[in-house]
């Protein structure tokens, strides 16, 4: 029996970091009552025949704590950007001023805050599912190596516990991020 099996834990970490980065991006798009340019990141505009992020058709600024402005570079695109914002589901009513679109951020009411915490929980759960899927991939590699006789029983247990520890640490990070985001949303 040859013990030449080496699980690539760095690859698992990198992929789990990717799931965490995706979760942070999704959390950044949730509106918390304060203006942030990142809240417009998921919105795509039909620009010149292709779907383009808003920040590629204009300059996004946050001049005040409750205002986001978009200075659209091409006058012909102003209507399309406004329509994309209205259809985005952010619940923001854009105001036009020439090529500048102003987005006043209204106060969130208690009901909307609770809805946003539920959305944040859904984002966190999808991140946990991603981490668990990566755990399963790692465990499958270990089981395959065991079947191929390139891994002893003790080594199998060692690698399985290493993958489980990694999974537990990333699940805890997801829970931490969720708790902090929910506190931020509920803060008045």
Condensed to tens digits (0 to 9), the pLDDT of residues 92-145 reads 889 998 889 999 887 778 888 888 888 889 999 999 999 999 999 999 999 988
The pLDDT assigned to 107 comes to 78
Q: Are residues 93 and 126 in the same domain?
A: no
CB 76 within 8 A of CB 83: no
- Euclidean distance between CA atoms 91 and 104, whole angstroms: 10
Q: Of the candidates 114, 120, 108, which has an alpha carbon nearest to the alpha carbon of residue 176?
A: 120
Question: Domain total for the chain?
Answer: 2
C-alpha span between 181 and 168 (Å, rounded): 20
Residue 41: domain span:
34-104
Last residue of one domain, picked from the residues 104, 120, 150? 104
Q: What share of the chain is helix, strand, coil (3-state, %, to 5)?
A: 60, 15, 25
Q: How confident is the model at residue 1 (pLDDT cuts 50, 70, 90)?
A: very low
Percent of the chain with pLDDT over 70: 95
Residues in a beta bridge with 58: 72
Mean pLDDT of the chain: 87
pLDDT for 2 equals: 46
Residue 4 has pLDDT above 70, yes or no: no
Of 66, 89, 104, which residue is a domain's last? 104
Q: Is residue 30 within 8 Å of residue 42, measured between CB atoms?
A: no
């Amino acid at each position: 029996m040859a013990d030449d099996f080496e699980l690539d834990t760095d690859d698992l970490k990198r992929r789990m970091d990717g799931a965490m980065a995706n979760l942070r991006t999704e959390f950044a798009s949730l509106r918390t009552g304060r203006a942030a340019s990142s809240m417009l990141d998921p919105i795509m505009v039909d620009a010149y025949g292709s779907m383009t992020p808003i920040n590629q058709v204009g300059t996004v600024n946050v001049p005040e704590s409750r205002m986001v402005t978009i200075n659209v570079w091409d006058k012909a695109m102003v209507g399309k950007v406004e329509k994309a914002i209205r259809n985005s589901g952010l619940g923001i009513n854009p105001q036009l001023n020439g090529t500048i679109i102003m987005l006043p951020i209204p106060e969130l009411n208690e009901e909307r805050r609770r809805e946003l915490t539920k959305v944040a929980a859904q984002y966190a759960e999808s991140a946990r599912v991603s981490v668990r899927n990566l755990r399963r991939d790692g465990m499958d590699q270990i089981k395959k190596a065991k079947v191929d006789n390139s891994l002893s029983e003790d080594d199998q247990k060692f690698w399985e516990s290493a993958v489980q520890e990694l999974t537990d640490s990333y699940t805890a990070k997801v829970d931490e991020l969720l708790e902090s985001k929910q506190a931020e949303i509920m803060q008045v």
